[in-house]
Chain A
Amino acid sequence: MASPLLAVTGEVGKDFFQERSTDTLPCQATDKLFCWDWATQNIDRYGAPTVQHVELVLISVLLGFAVAFALALLAHRHRWLQPPLLAGTGVLYTIPSLAFFFLLLPVTGRGRDTAIIALSAYTLQIIYRNTIVGLANVPASVRDSARGMGLTERQTLWKVELPLAAPEIFAGLQIATVSTVAIATLAVFAGGGGLGTLIKSDLTFKTNIILAGGIAFLIAIAFGLILLGAQRLLTPWRRARAA
């Protein structure tokens, strides 16, 4: 089967797109950078791992967000918690995920749960720190007038402070999500599945690596853009500058 791209690219594309004369030779055996044919024929193999990967990321980020957000609210009220929490989440952020998987191993065993815990732990610092900073950046006069007008502490937090901190919080969420998609390729080592499984299964097959890596990369970018869009949508007052 001659690839249509071959016709388009001609001589230049021969290296990339032409099947060898012996088309019984599978793509894996060739030295080609990327076999379109193989890719289009085997794309369905990438379906399940992709879904797994996305699941991993979503669960981990949501869990990380829930924990980090709760901790940030706590630390916002009780200032003395801030230094230890910052240090604690910082440690979890610093430890490479791969190492984290295996530090957890004796406790949680192999499997998706271990991967999720480690991936969540990685997101904690960025979300926690951005939430704290976002809340701290709310002008004192806005807080003062809110409390002075009769909003309770809780009402002030939810109706005034958090909406105003939303851009920072979203920025943290975006960074966390994009990073998690990339790191989740390592989840295979913990037995957590994901696109990394495909990569690890054949480390020499270039087309496979490009495909799996490319899908992960695109998912990460997509999530980043979605969250950026969501942030813009939810904060209309930032777009309204002095008329």
Chain B
Amino acid sequence: MPGDEASQRGSSGGASAVRYAGATKRYGGSTVAAVDHLDLEVPAGEICVLVGPSGCGKTTAMRMVNRTVELSEGDVLVGERSVRERSPAQLQREIGYVIQDIGLFPHRTIAENIATVPSLLGWKKERIAARTAELLELIGLDAELADRYPAQLSGGQQQRVGVARALAADPLVMLMDEPFGAIDPINRERLQNEFLRLQAEIGKTVLFVTHDIDEAIKIGDRIAVMREGGRVAQYATPAELLMAPADGFVEDFVGADRALKRLALMRVADIDLWEAPLAYVGQPTAEVRAKLAAPGVEVPYPLLVDSERRPLGWLSERDLRAEVVPSRPDSPLGPLLDRDDVMRDALGDLLQGEAQYAAVADAEGRIVGVLSIEIISEFLASPQAKTEEQSAVERPHG
């Protein structure tokens, strides 16, 4: 389990589970609760995404964990300790907190911002400096930016500093409230990927709030779809959510394109690819023609590869009229896919390249098979798809 691996890693202090036990929040004299008796369990080291329409109480629920919102009734337990046990300030220093507008202190340098909680906890200067350097590397920020002020960094850089600041004192739990919401879509995807890479390394327990179901599916180990009052309509893994939505609300929220969303969960390597007849430069075309004519050929075009079996392009009828296979094929290669690519992206590349077939290569660039749209749609319809998706649940994100 990801959590176990994380606690064995050196730099990370580990993670605690979070449990909501009948947690309720009522504002003012209101009889309607913003969060109504929430019961939820987040295992240690997992990312739990709270997703739902605005006003459903997801942010309120998240804030109950670090008492930036005080409980009206019920309890929240962090690592089996009630949040009420300590003072809010003490609790908050053990919990990482990242908000949408980041809230970096403009009057402090990046290094000073990151050092906020460690300073509060009384860490020695050398320890703080070492930790700051470690974190800057972890989030992929140049060490020389440490003495700059937030106004001098881009939005994406600031957001990463926000994450680093939250991680500084090695918290047990991380709370993230639409952390990538204010970033442009291109950088948002980058930040999401980097965050997942980070999480694979440090394995914190994360409570992540978003209104974007696609982000939830991409990021979450578990997703809690909430409706108003903080009521959980469904709490499940992304795959379960897509394959078996609990009710009409969840179905609507997840979206009519559920089938396409499932493609985000799988990799090209997960399915059986077709094979194209391979042709080497200088090979007699007669041999290639024989391969083409053989029964059971799935791809009717020969793929030109080099001596290392790296794809160079597709051969046409005209190419085959020559005596030997030419070194320059008639048709260009088109989209070249990686077997580790997420299926959704692979489909996107196929469609964008207006190609019927796309060569799939391994990490060294060597051909492993050919993907086509047909394969994808056949696979989605088949019972095999379901079992493939189940195993996708076991696999950690990253």
Whether A and B touch (Cβ < 8 Å) is answered with yes
A243 → B minimal CB distance (Å): 4
A99 → B minimal CB distance (Å): 42
B92 contacts which of A142, A150, A243 (Cβ < 8 Å)? A150
The interface-forming segment of A18-26, A65-73, A214-222, A234-242 is A234-242
A240 and B152 within 8 A (CB): yes
The answer to whether A14 has its CB under 8 Å from any CB of chain B is: no
A240 and B149 within 8 A (CB): yes
A142 contacts which of B88, B103, B153 (Cβ < 8 Å)? B103
A150 and B151 within 8 A (CB): no
A145 and B152 within 8 A (CB): no
B107 and A144 within 8 A (CB): no
The answer to whether A62 has its CB under 8 Å from any CB of chain B is: no
B105 and A146 within 8 A (CB): yes
B97-116 CB mask vs A (1 if < 8 Å, else 0) is: 10111111111100000001
A150 and B89 within 8 A (CB): yes
The answer to whether B66 has its CB under 8 Å from any CB of chain A is: yes
A237 and B102 within 8 A (CB): no
21 CB < 8 A contacts A-B: A139-B103, A140-B101, A141-B100, A142-B106, A143-B103, A144-B68, A145-B103, A145-B162, A146-B103, A148-B97, A149-B93, A149-B97, A149-B120, A150-B89, A150-B92, A160-B107, A236-B149, A237-B108, A241-B152, A242-B153, A243-B152
A145 and B99 within 8 A (CB): yes
A149 contacts which of B101, B102, B107, B117 (Cβ < 8 Å)? B117
The answer to whether B148 has its CB under 8 Å from any CB of chain A is: yes
The residue of chain A having its C-beta at the shortest distance from the C-beta of B100 within the complex is A141
When distances are taken between beta carbons in the complex, the residues of chain B under 8 Å from A163 are: 107
The answer to whether A152 has its CB under 8 Å from any CB of chain B is: yes
The docked-state distance in angstroms from the alpha carbon of A146 to that of B106 is 12
The answer to whether B90 has its CB under 8 Å from any CB of chain A is: yes
The docked-state distance in angstroms from the alpha carbon of A20 to that of B151 is 66
B173 → A minimal CB distance (Å): 13
A240 and B105 within 8 A (CB): no
A223-241 CB mask vs B (1 if < 8 Å, else 0) is: 0000000000001110011
B54-78 CB mask vs A (1 if < 8 Å, else 0) is: 0000000001001010000000000
The docked-state distance in angstroms from the alpha carbon of A142 to that of B99 is 10
A215 → B minimal CB distance (Å): 37
B239 → A minimal CB distance (Å): 33
Measured CB to CB, the residues of B under 8 A from A are 63, 66, 68, 88-94, 97, 99-108, 116-117, 120, 148-149, 151-153, 162, 165-166, 175
**CB contact under 8 A between A148 and B106, given known A237-B151, A240-B151, A242-B151:** no
**CB contact under 8 A between A141 and B89, given known A147-B68, A237-B149:** no
B101 contacts which of A139, A236, A237 (Cβ < 8 Å)? A139
B275 → A minimal CB distance (Å): 53
The docked-state distance in angstroms from the alpha carbon of A149 to that of B168 is 11
When distances are taken between beta carbons in the complex, the residues of chain B under 8 Å from A141 are: 99-103
When distances are taken between beta carbons in the complex, the residues of chain B under 8 Å from A237 are: 106-108, 149, 151
A58 → B minimal CB distance (Å): 28
Within 8 A of B (CB), among A111-168: 139-152, 155, 160, 163-164
B99 and A148 within 8 A (CB): yes
